[in-house]
Amino acid sequence: MSDSNISDRLKSLRQKLNRHNHLYYVIHRPEISDQEYDVMFQELKDIESQNLELITIDSPTQRVGAEPIKDFKEASHPYPMLSLGNAFDDGEFLDWHQRTSGLLEQDEFRMVCELKYDGLAVALTYEEGVFVRGATRGNGVVGEDVTLNIRTIKSIPLVLDNRRPDKLEVRGEVFFPKSAFTRFNDARIASGLDPYSNPRNSAAGSLKQLDSRITAQRPLDIFIYGLGYAEPMVHSTHSEAMEYLGSLGFKTNPYNLTVETPQQVIKYYKDHLKIIESLDYDCDGVVIKVDRFDLQNHLGTVGREPRWAVAYKFPPNQSITRLLDIGVNVGRTGTINPYAVLDPVEVGGVIVKNATLHNEDYIRKRDLRIGDWVLIERAGEVIPKVVKVLEERRTGIEVEFHMPTRCPSCGQDIVTPYGEALSLCINASCSIQLVRRLEHFVSKNSMDVEGLGIKFVTVLVEKGLIDDVSDIYYLCDSDLLELDRMAQKSVTNLLEAIDSSKSRPFYRVITALGIPHVGVEVSELLTRKYGDIDALISSKEEELIVVPGIGPKIASSVHAYFRNETNLQIIEKLRKAGVILQDQGGHVNRELILSGLKFVVTGRMADLSRSKFEEKIKGLGGIVSGSVSSKTDFLVAGESPGSKFADAESLGIRILSELEFLELIESNLPVNN
């Protein structure tokens, strides 16, 4: 066969196999037998094995998995993968609809109802129609590159036809079909292996396999639920985009429905609640989205949650079991945290042995006693919690619980700050707190020091090698070689990993410090606002409060942290060790040019959503109000501004267009009304 004939035959086989994959795995209408498919697939493998230079990444043979990799690389999301706010009954959903109507200044808007799948969210990227990257959600900003594993999922197209945009990212949920999960577990049991606990965890575990050949053996599936971005962008609504993605070969859910009223949403919810047990995939609710993209952009986001969507959750899975004991542990900030020790029980496919009890008030309000029969549920289908006591089943032998008066780790007195429900150990030398702080400091979302797990961290503290988190940068060969099972190679690898962590981005350092209420997202906000550690240390509480996304509780916590002399000493030790304590992206600190001025934003904007406008105003020291009054300094008006425009005119309030507002703040000069 000539070279041109080989290329033509390869192209023909790939097109046919990709088409039959789509017919079989996506729309469930196969046109050929499995045997006929296997014959074509084998022919393709044979030709490629003899012409390795002609193998392409979109070939069906590339779904079988590749050689194991050492670790997953980070994958940044150009547009964050947001999490959803929740509604748990009709009233909470209607509250969301009313808030959204108010922000849009219109009573009616089209919505899309979709089932909420219980799987693992991923982003799939295509360039020139070819699948090039698959990434997990991660923290919403940065996930893990699992391209090799995603490629093994047969319902995901590896190549798109010519109707596709040049660049495309779609979002979807990878899941393990319930029927396939049952067959998979039956095969494990027949082989003498333990069965897996539930489809959701198994799907997540399959995507996290370093050997994609293992993932290829697991019958994972996917539903595409949204468009991340497209270049060029040609659709104006979510429903249009989903229909288009379906036409490109992506698997979308047949139960998606466009509706006009909140009553239609509630009917959709109740109708599908009746059928969830008959579906071949786990669902834990309904997702409701505003359909028009321009309205989505206008509504924007709050924190990590879009204002334009909400998850209306199905009732949680519940089970009854015995409360065997109440234990306590010590958190990294010194909190004494009670937890329930339960007679193991299955809740929603997961065996639950412990549940959170939050604090002493939580226990007292529910009158929980050791020995009680209790109702357990998985809040948000994830965190087990005790809902209530079954008092009618008490026998009189149940025992009341009392919080310890001394720390179970160091033996020092426990204190309860005035007006707080928390119990605290305030001993700065408490070893368990130090272990927890160090565990957090070296974790993946913080300094990400490979080789420093909880067991090794505990040993370092117990041996007196660590007095605070900065001490890991002052460890040396002689310190570590004295520890059990630490040879020179292991010591060298660990010290190299520690040294490498010094160059982590500045926001990761802020996260690692363990400031109460400060996670990755808040750390990024602080980095963008202040840019380096010295500016952050000098920040005032009243400045912090007006940073978008930071409220009084976070501002107070950050301010208090940097007033503590011990914390400042740790930062100086980090600085001397060579840890990067400034943003490497060229941050420019801007003055609070809108300080003290009150704004109202109304109408739809062309370039910025309402939430983005509010973020800009608050970030520059301004105050945002939802209604016009005599105390309002400026009204920023977009398209279709509504009654607020007339109110501002009647009160003589200065009115700015979107462009005028942007020009005003870009001048970077203090603004006077």
So what's the pLDDT on residue 590?
Answer: 46
Which one is predicted more confidently, 577 or 21?
577
So what's the pLDDT on residue 2?
Answer: 63
- State yes or no: cis peptide before 177, omega within 30 of 0: no
So what's the pLDDT on residue 175?
Answer: 93
So what's the pLDDT on residue 34?
Answer: 67
Amino acid at 176: F
Q: Rounded to two decimals, what is the model's pTM?
A: 0.60
- For the chain, which domains are there? 3-63 (1.10.287.610), 86-268+276-312 (3.30.470.30), 318-400 (2.40.50.140), 431-503 (1.10.150.20), 506-577 (1.10.150.20), 598-666 (3.40.50.10190)
116 in active site: yes
Q: Is 525 helix (H, G, I), strand (E, B) or coil?
A: helix
- Cβ neighbours, 10 Å, residue 566: 8
Tens digits of residue pLDDT in 601-612: 888 777 667 777
Q: How confident is the model at residue 64 (pLDDT cuts 50, 70, 90)?
A: low
Tens digits of residue pLDDT in 644-665: 888 888 888 888 888 788 777 7
So what's the pLDDT on residue 110?
Answer: 96
Catalytic residue among 70, 73, 116, 644: 116
Angle of helix 199-207 relative to helix 178-190, nearest 10 degrees, comes to 80
Cα–Cα nearest to 113, from 235, 327, 271: 271
Report how far residue 605's alpha carbon sits from residue 563's, in angstroms, rounded to the nearest whole number: 41
- Is pLDDT at 61 greater than 60 in this prediction? yes
Q: How confident is the model at residue 589 (pLDDT cuts 50, 70, 90)?
A: very low
Mean pLDDT of 589-595: 60
pLDDT > 70 fraction of the chain, expressed in percent and rounded: 90
pLDDT > 90 fraction of the chain, expressed in percent and rounded: 35
Tens digits of residue pLDDT in 38-60: 778 788 877 877 877 777 766 77
So what's the pLDDT on residue 28?
Answer: 64
97: alpha, beta or left? (left if phi > 0; alpha if psi -120 to 50): alpha
So what's the pLDDT on residue 594?
Answer: 76
So what's the pLDDT on residue 644?
Answer: 84
- Is pLDDT at 66 greater than 60 in this prediction? no
- What is the residue-wise DSSP string for 19-66? HHHIIIIIS----S-HHHHHHHHHHHHHHHHH-GGG--TTSGGGGS--
